[in-house]
Chains A and B, each alone.
Chain A
Amino acid sequence: MLGLGILKGLSVTLQHFVETYLSDLKRFPHRYAPQGRAKRLHPTERGIFTLQYPEERLEMFPRFRGALMQLTNPETGIPKCTGCGICARSCPVGVIEVVRASEKKGGKFVPESYTWNLASCLFCGLCVESCPFGALYHTPEYELSTYGRQKGELIYDLDRLLAWGQKYAPDGVPPVEKEK
Chain B
Amino acid sequence: MPFLNDLFVNLSSWIHGFLAHFLPLWAADLVMMLFTIACLIAFAVTTIIFINWLERKVIGRIQDRYGPNRVGPLGILQCVADMIKMLTKEDITPAQADRLIFNLAPVMVVVPTFMVLAVIPFGRGMVAADLNVGFLYIMAVSSLTTIAILLAGWGSRNKYSLLGGVRVVAQMMSYEIPMVLSALGAIMLTGSLSMVSIVAGQSRVPFILLQPLGFLIYLTSAVAEVNRAPFDLPEAESEIIAGYHTEYSGIKYAMFLLAEYVNAFIVSAIAATLFLGGWQGPLLPSYIWFFLKAYAIYFVLMWLRGTLPRLRIDQLMGLAWRFLVPLALVNLLVMGLVITLTQRKGLFSLVLVSLVANGLIVAAVVIIYAFAIWRRRQVKVTT
The interface of chain A, by Cβ under 8 A from chain B, is 1, 6, 9-10, 12-14, 16-17, 20-21, 47-50, 52
Contacts of A50 in B (CB 8 A): 64-66
* Any A CB within 8 A of the CB of B61: yes
Distance in angstroms from A11 CB to nearest chain B CB is 9
B64–A10 touching, CB < 8 Å: no
A17–B58 touching, CB < 8 Å: yes
Contacts of B303 in A (CB 8 A): 10, 13-14, 17
Query: Which partner residue on chain A sits nearest B362 by CB separation?
Result: A3
A10–B61 touching, CB < 8 Å: no
Query: Which partner residue on chain A sits nearest B70 by CB separation?
Result: A54
* Among listed B8-16, B200-208, B232-240, B304-312, interface-contacting one: B304-312
* Any A CB within 8 A of the CB of B62: yes
Contacts of B62 in A (CB 8 A): 13, 16-17
Q: Which of B64, B69, B303, B308 has the most CB of A within 10 A?
A: B64
B307–A10 touching, CB < 8 Å: yes
Contacts of B63 in A (CB 8 A): 16
Distance in angstroms from B314 CB to nearest chain A CB is 15
For B46-78 the 0/1 string (1 means CB < 8 A from A) is 000000000000100111111001000000000
* Any A CB within 8 A of the CB of B369: yes
Distance in angstroms from B298 CB to nearest chain A CB is 14
User: Number of contacting residues on B, CB 8 A?
Assistant: 14
Contacts of A13 in B (CB 8 A): 62, 303, 306-307
A48–B304 touching, CB < 8 Å: no
17 more CB-based (< 8 A) A-B contacts, given A16-B62, A20-B61: A1-B369, A6-B308, A9-B308, A10-B303, A10-B304, A10-B307, A12-B307, A13-B62, A13-B307, A16-B61, A16-B64, A17-B58, A17-B303, A17-B306, A20-B64, A48-B61, A48-B64
Cα distance A50–B65 when bound, in Å? 6
SS class, residues of chain A in contact with chain B? helix
The interface of chain B, by Cβ under 8 A from chain A, is 58, 61-66, 69, 303-304, 306-308, 369
Contacts of B308 in A (CB 8 A): 6, 9
B64–A9 touching, CB < 8 Å: no
Cα distance A50–B60 when bound, in Å? 10
Cα distance A17–B308 when bound, in Å? 15
Cα distance A21–B65 when bound, in Å? 11
Distance in angstroms from B65 CB to nearest chain A CB is 4
Query: Which partner residue on chain B sits nearest A14 by CB separation?
Result: B303
Contacts of B58 in A (CB 8 A): 17
In the complex, 10 of the A-B residue pairs with CB atoms within 8 angstroms, ordered by the A residue number, are A10-B307, A16-B63, A20-B61, A21-B61, A48-B61, A48-B64, A48-B65, A49-B65, A50-B64, A52-B69
Contacts of B66 in A (CB 8 A): 48, 50, 52
Cα distance A84–B69 when bound, in Å? 51
Query: Which partner residue on chain B sits nearest A51 by CB separation?
Result: B65
